[in-house]
Amino acid sequence: MTMQDALQDTCEILADCLPKRKLRVYEAGGGSTSWLPADVLARSDIVVVDIDERQLEHNGYAQQKILGNIESCTFPPASFDLIVCFNVIEHLKSPPAAIERFSEALRPGGLLLIGAPNPRSLSGIVTRFTPHAFHVWYYRAVLKKLDAGHPGQPPFHVVYHPIVAPDALLSYCRKLGLDAVYRVDCRSDRDKTAMRSRPWLAAGLRAITATMNLIFLGTRNFGHSDYRVILQKPINSRFAPLGESNSSRCDDATTPRVVNAT
């Protein structure tokens, strides 16, 4: 399955499972681009939290933009119908801290969508065991992204905490009481253009992937570089009353602040 197929599946599941009303959505590390389906985006009140002020300044769709760290920013219990964390947890030093806060902020029946690279894939292994300078070189030399590595531009430093592996992530979320609704492992489309112009490189990567799959007797597909999971907070989940508070807070030294709220 390609990333485009996975995105279509994800959109269909969100359309089926989300309430048919105005939604409150939290995009964790959302930056300037949303992965939400257009119909969901159109009926959502969106809060974006990101550590990069440049990304927030270029965000034109969120009603509230907060400069802060998703590992420490908290919201009142039962604040959101949907939380989206897309291509972010691989960069975090403590993804469990962020996911615990997501679980607390979800309304009963609410959904958590997480997308990330798979650290156990071929590309994930290469990323884990090569220096960041190599990633910058690859973006510039192979992907022809000449601004790669500049402030606010990918590639960003990758941590790959053990919980980022999809099986470990699902196991941890179960301990928090979140039920898995959907999971898919997929091939990345990120390098498609570069591979098309360098058939020798594409052939070499396919050969390496096939060899590794053979060595592991097909128990792992090293070509599935990314995954998507959707988790749901049970309807009968207990949570503290909302009270009158509707503010976020941050437990570290960096106080979150609103950036260009609309």
Kindly report, residue by residue over 41-65, the tens digit of the pLDDT.
Answer: 999 999 999 999 988 999 999 999 9
- Residue at 198 is within a domain: no
**What is residue 248's predicted lDDT score, i.e. its pLDDT?**
52
pLDDT (0 to 100) of residue 245? 37
Q: What is the DSSP string of 184-218?
A: EEEB--TTHHHHHH-HHHHHHHHHHHHHHHHHTTT
Residue 108, in any domain of the structure: yes
- Asked if residue 94 belongs to a domain, the reply is yes
> Does the pLDDT at position 28 exceed 90?
yes
Query: pLDDT value at position 249?
Result: 53
Give a yes or no: residue 193 inside a domain: no
Q: What pLDDT digit, counting tens, does each position of 133-191 carry?
A: 999 999 999 888 999 999 888 999 999 999 999 999 999 999 999 999 999 999 887 77
Amino acid at 95: P
What confidence score (pLDDT) does residue 112 get?
98
What mean pLDDT do residues 68-87 have? 96
**What's the domain range around 95?**
3-118+160-187+224-258
Residue 151 lies in a domain: no
In a domain, 130, yes or no: no
| SS3 of residue 225 by DSSP | coil
Q: CA 10 to CA 36: how far, in whole Å?
A: 9
Give the residues across from 49 on adjacent strands.
Answer: 28, 66
pLDDT of amino acid 255 = 41
Residue 63's pLDDT is: 95
pLDDT score for 221: 94
Distance CA(176)–CA(250), nearest Å, equals 21
Q: Rounded to whole angstroms, how far apart are CA atoms 173 and 179?
A: 8
Give pLDDT tens digits for 79-123: 999 999 999 999 999 999 999 999 999 999 999 999 999 999 999
Angle at 157 between CA 200 and CA 182, to 5 degrees: 80
Q: What is the pLDDT of residue 242?
A: 37
Retrieve residue 21's tokens.
């009303």
* pLDDT for residue 209 is more than 80: yes
Helices marked H in the chain: 3-17, 38-42, 53-57, 95-105, 122-128, 132-141, 166-175, 192-197, 199-215
Above pLDDT 70, what percent of the chain?
Answer: 89
Tokens of 251: 């437990």
Tens of pLDDT, residues 237-256: 654 333 333 445 544 433 44
User: Is 178 inside any structural domain?
Assistant: yes
pTM of the model: 0.87
- Contact status, residue 148 vs residue 154, Cβ threshold 8 Å: yes
Provide the 10 A C-beta neighbour count for residue 117: 21
Q: How many CA atoms lie within 13 A of 151 on its CB side?
A: 4
Distances in whole angstroms, Cα of residue 151 to Cα of each of 52, 62, 89, 124, 156: 9, 22, 19, 23, 9
pLDDT of residue 197: 77
Tell me the average pLDDT of the chain: 88
Query: Is 231 part of a structural domain of the chain?
Result: yes
Task: Please state the domain count of the chain.
Answer: 1
Q: Let me know if 68 is exposed, middle or buried by CB neighbors in 10 A (0-12, 13-18, 19+).
A: buried
In the predicted structure, residue 235 carries a pLDDT above the cut 80? yes
Stronger pLDDT, 131 or 152, i.e. the higher one: 131
* Side chain identity at residue 81, one-letter code: D
Give the pLDDT band of residue 262 (cuts 50, 70, 90).
very low
CATH code at position 252: 3.40.50.150
> What pLDDT is stored for residue 89 in this prediction?
97
Distance linking the first and last C-alpha atoms of the chain = 38
